Amino acid sequence: MTRKVAGRSGRWYDVQTDPLNKDGGQAVLYRCADSAGRPYAYKQYLTPLPAGPEVGRLHALALNGQDTLRRAERSGGAGGLATTAESSINWPLDVIHGARGSVAGVILPLIPDSFMFRRPDGGLRPRTLDFLCLARSVPPPPPAQVRLGVLIRTCDVFAELEQRRLSHGDLSWKNLVWRERDTHAYLIDCDGLTPWEPAPRQGVATAEWTDPRRLSGRIPAHDRYSDRFALALALYRGLFLNPGGPRWIGTPGTDWAQAKGFPADLDRDLLQLFKRALDHPHATTERPTATEWRDALEEVFLERGRGYRGGPIRSLERYAEHRRNEVPRPTGGVPAARPQPQPPPQPRPGPPVPVRQPVRRQPLPPPPVPTPPRLPNRRRPASPPAPPPQVRRRRGRAVGWGLTAIGLLLVAGTAAGAVFHLFPVPGLDGTRTDSTRLAPGGLTPCPKHVAARIPHGSGAVLLHDYTTSLHHIVLCRTGAGKIYYDGSWLRPGRSHGKHHGKQEMTISAKATAQGYSARSGEIRYVIRDGWVIVEQPHAKKDKYRLHEGS
């Protein structure tokens, strides 16, 4: 049995009768589908929101969600799903109105199945933040590389919100999901996103994650600086497996217990960021931004060449082991089965009840140790660590060649006509096979000579194979989602005038809604509408027609 609801967009949705969740404090979640059969989730509020500013806020969020979906559909392919910062936000897609202009609920994407696992009791559950950070987990949380990677991705997501001047307001145990294979994070409960200005006057909060400014009465609801505090808490707990955190002692506003749980050899600059974020309960602008955290984590833990820095990672592992050993373990047992991602996924409901109690459940094990993470949609100076961060600081390998190779990062993609967060990510099957080893089934492997020039390119797949009148251009995507543009001369060894340079180059970059774009030094490369355009300061643009196939 189904019922129909109409969205503000004009679309109709068939809503199933049985709810997906049974523990929603403010809403009930149902599976639904549009007239074309595309599946979504309908989040029905237990108390409809009255007509007023909330209606406009939700409608604006839904427009953002629709734009993100369109960009994902244009990019296409399996590698773009939940791989960019904007597509790792569970944007509302439509608003359902009730009587007299009220809001009865919103249409949301389903959480991608790669962030789900099946528990021993047979139920599907999201792999939430508590499964990453709690030392009492049985078996223990994943290795330091995994935790670090997921947290860098989390910084990317919040950097995206900062760029859009939006606050989430409730980063907590159950509002972020993650997967291990490519150390990715996905933010949920995003129908509560609010603009920075004016500052919110009301909102939810979760116990153990509440901004001390709110507890002491300085602010009525969480704001952008509350997001900074919660992100610092996630890093404090996730990197070091620290229980608890800084807190008021007794009456809020009197005595503040500062955070103490740091490795003795922690990088000084990183330690200073934690002090800025957590030492002063009423701090605002002093709290580091997501971008500051991301840059610091990369600088401390990721090599500029090919991976993690061994010393800092071992330090995290030693400290985490100390925390694990503090937790009493029951004798006789490891939990049953390893979590296995299973379609179809079941999304978490929206915002938690105004104050949710601390989490007590024990997570199951996630998959294997990945290579470092990065999200595609951002520019970075300098050179990056090489493992699969989806955007690392990286120097180009010389610019002489007229069409320097461009590294291209897919904007979040999707199967055409389907919501972008539903397509299963290839290879995320819970096994210990490194996702960079093999090309996903049904896709063409990247040519061997190109894959050899790509960091961790052994599992890369071919995206495009272009030629121009002078150049051969091959675009490949690694198993971690990073895309590279490999360029070489069609006629090696010849002089190519002002464009003469190295015989081949491979540089990372990003994708755009129209095509691709990258920068090497002062030279910018743009691919769109069947052309590649080379832009240089104080010089005429060079333009070359692209032909698919070598």
pLDDT band for 354, please (50, 70, 90 cuts): very low
Superfamily of domain 2-118+128-356: Transferase(Phosphotransferase) domain 1 (1.10.510.10)
Q: Give the pLDDT of residue 158.
A: 96
Range of lowest pLDDT (227-236, 414-423, 520-529): 414-423
Band of the pLDDT at 49, cuts 50, 70, 90?
very high
Which pLDDT score is estimated for 308? 86
Written as one letter, the residue type at 19 is: P
Helices (H), 164-266: 212-215, 224-240
Structure token digits, residue 126: 């999201």
Q: Alpha-carbon distance 359 to 106, whole Å? A: 27
Q: Is the pLDDT of residue 397 over 70?
A: no
pLDDT of residue 5 exceeding 60, the answer is yes
Contact call for residues 411 and 418 (beta carbons, < 8 A): no
Type of residue numbered 296: A
**Quick one: average pLDDT of 105-111?**
94
Residue 254, amino acid: T
List, for residues 417-442, the tens digit of each pLDDT value: 222 222 222 222 222 222 222 333 34
For the chain, the distance separating the N- and C-terminal CA atoms, rounded to the nearest angstrom, is: 53
User: What does the DSSP 8-state code read for residue 307?
Assistant: S
Q: Are 12 and 3 in contact (CB under 8 A)?
A: no
Range with the largest mean pLDDT of 247-251, 354-358, 364-368, 392-396: 247-251
Q: What digits encode the pLDDT tens for the residues 297-307?
A: 999 999 865 58
Residue bearing tokens 């996903």: 440
Pseudo-torsion of CA 91, 97, 103, 107, nearest 10°? -20
List beta partners, residue 256.
248
DSSP class of residue 123 equals -
Q: What is the pLDDT of residue 106?
A: 97
Which amino acid makes up residue 187?
A: L
**Beta strands at 2-6 and 12-19: parallel, antiparallel or unpaired:** antiparallel
Q: Are strands 483-489 and 504-508 parallel, antiparallel or unpaired?
A: antiparallel
**Cα distance between residue 229 and residue 371, in whole Å:** 27
Q: Where are the alpha helices (DSSP H) in 356-490?
A: 448-451
Q: How far apart are CA 236 and CA 258, in angstroms?
A: 12
Angstrom distance (rounded) from CA 161 to CA 224: 10
Helical (H) or strand (E) element with 272:
helix 268-278
Query: Residues 6 or more apart from 525 whose CB is under 8 A from it?
Result: 403, 404, 406, 485, 509, 516, 517, 518, 519, 532, 533, 534, 535
Give residue-wise pLDDT tens across range 234-280. Answer: 999 999 999 889 999 999 999 999 999 999 999 999 999 999 999 99
Considering only CA atoms, which of 483, 463, 462, 476 is closest in space to residue 409? 483
- Distance CA(447)–CA(535), nearest Å, equals 28
534 CB-near residues (< 8 Å, 6+ apart): 402, 403, 523, 524, 525, 541, 542, 543, 544
Q: Helix, strand, coil: what percent of the chain each, to 5?
A: 25, 25, 55
Q: Which of 384, 373, 363 is nearest to 180 (CA)?
A: 373
In the chain, % of residues over pLDDT 90: 43
Task: Delimit the CATH 1.10.510.10 region(s) of the chain.
Answer: 2-118+128-356
Helix (H, G, I), strand (E, B) or coil at 327: coil
Instruction: Characterize the bridge pairing of strands 247-249 and 255-257.
Output: antiparallel
Instruction: For residue range 449-472, list pLDDT tens digits in order.
Output: 888 888 877 778 788 888 888 888
